[in-house]
Amino acid sequence: MAEKLQTISEIRSHIFSLLKQAWSNEEAEALASSIILEYTGMSRAARMAFGDRQPDPAALERMIYAATRAAEGEPLQYIFGYTEFCGHRIGVEPGVLIPRPETEEMAGQIIRENPGFSGRATDLCTGSACIAISLSLAFPAATVVATDNSQTALQVAARNIATSGASVTLIEADIFSPGQLYHSGSELIVSNPPYVTESEKKGMHINVLEHEPHEALFVPDEDPLLYYRRIAQVAETSLTPGGTLWLEVNENLASATARLLTPDIYRQVTIIDDIRGKQRFIKAERNG
């Protein structure tokens, strides 16, 4: 089929037909547009104006290959090898969680609320290091530390830090291991840990279930707050007086998560809705 395709319009129609086998028409259209933009640089408006143009054979081959993989449920971010986060290109690959818009929203809010921050910020469960990189580049005078226990995530994070030019100290560490001092004396602690319950899997698309790392996503139904309890313990000993803890949380467990952050430690604990109106973030200000 591919060798018979000539124009961008014909290619778009073919890619769309591949994708709609696994995605809704709206999703298939968006994916097709992203694939064409990635390999030809042509936006939707450009395709409408110049749909009779022919791409070079190499671009055609890459587009068909990408569409075939996407039709099987593989996320475009893995196919392209990157995603955009707070204006920065963040590399991703299988084995590393793809940063979500919600996480970008939280990072952006932290940056807006802390202009000129020059203290120590610690990103627990950093994954691709998207949050840590964004904080470092927004706060060049700050000391930023990022931790994870996944070898794949650490390798990807290290490459992202190097290519972005951010100043981030990357540390291999298991958040559940006691006695580690990498997070001590932090004025800001942020984390987006696993928080999706096992029972919520049934409502998720195959692009997540069959491709993204389950250890970075899911927690057991019988103990969905295990990461947050540990983060609360870490913050209790490591967050400086007057410092702030930011968490991305399960929308169905926001209140339960907030109750872990007690008034004897925090002067204010606020549940914040994301752009879709879901209870997605917690901001806790330590007494001091």
Residue 215 and residue 98 share a domain: yes
For residue 248, is it within any domain? yes
Q: Please state whether the predicted TM-score (pTM) of the whole model is above 0.85.
A: yes
Give the torsion sign (CA, 48, 51, 55, 59): positive
Q: Give a yes or no: residue 83 inside a domain.
A: no
Final residue before a domain boundary, out of 42, 72, 102: 72
Residue 82 lies in a domain: no
What percentage of the chain's residues is helix, strand, coil (to nearest 5)? 45, 20, 35
Residues 39 and 106 placed together within one structural domain of the fold: no
CATH number at residue 6: 1.10.8
Smallest CA-to-CA distance from 257 within 246, 244, 267 is with: 246
Asked if the structure places residue 86 within a domain, the reply is no
Question: Cβ distance 129 to 155 under 8 Å?
Answer: no
Q: What is the pLDDT of residue 2?
A: 46
Asked whether residue 80 is domain-assigned, the answer is no
Total count of domains within the chain: 2
> How far apart are the C-alpha atoms of 144 and 237, rounded to whole Å?
18
CATH number at residue 179: 3.40.50.150
Structural contact between residues 33 and 65, judged by C-beta atoms closer than 8 angstroms: no
Point out the domain boundary residue: 72, 107, 134. 72
Give CA–CA dist 283/192, Å, rounded. 12
Which of 40, 72, 104 terminates a domain? The answer is 72
| Same domain, residue pair 191 and 159 | yes
Does the residue 176 lie in any domain?
Answer: yes
| pLDDT, position 5 | 65
- Same domain for 54 and 101, yes or no, is no
Could you list the residue range(s) of the whole structural domain that residue 10 is in?
2-72
Q: Which two tokens stand for residue 229?
A: 């309890």
pLDDT of residue 145: 96
Which parts of the chain have pLDDT scores under 50?
Answer: 1-3
Residue 89 lies in a domain: no
| Contact criterion met (CB below 8 Å) for 288 and 242 | yes
145 plus 274 within the same structural domain = yes
Question: Is there a domain that residue 85 lies in?
Answer: no
pLDDT in tens, 33-79: 999 999 999 888 888 777 788 888 899 999 999 999 999 999 999 99
Same domain? For 44 and 110 the reply is: no
Please tell me whether residues 246 and 160 are part of one structural domain.
yes
The answer to whether residues 194 and 256 belong to one domain is yes
CB neighbour burial string for 128-165, b if at least 16 within 10 angstroms, e if fewer: bbbbbbbbbbbbeebbbbbbbebeebbebbeebbeebe
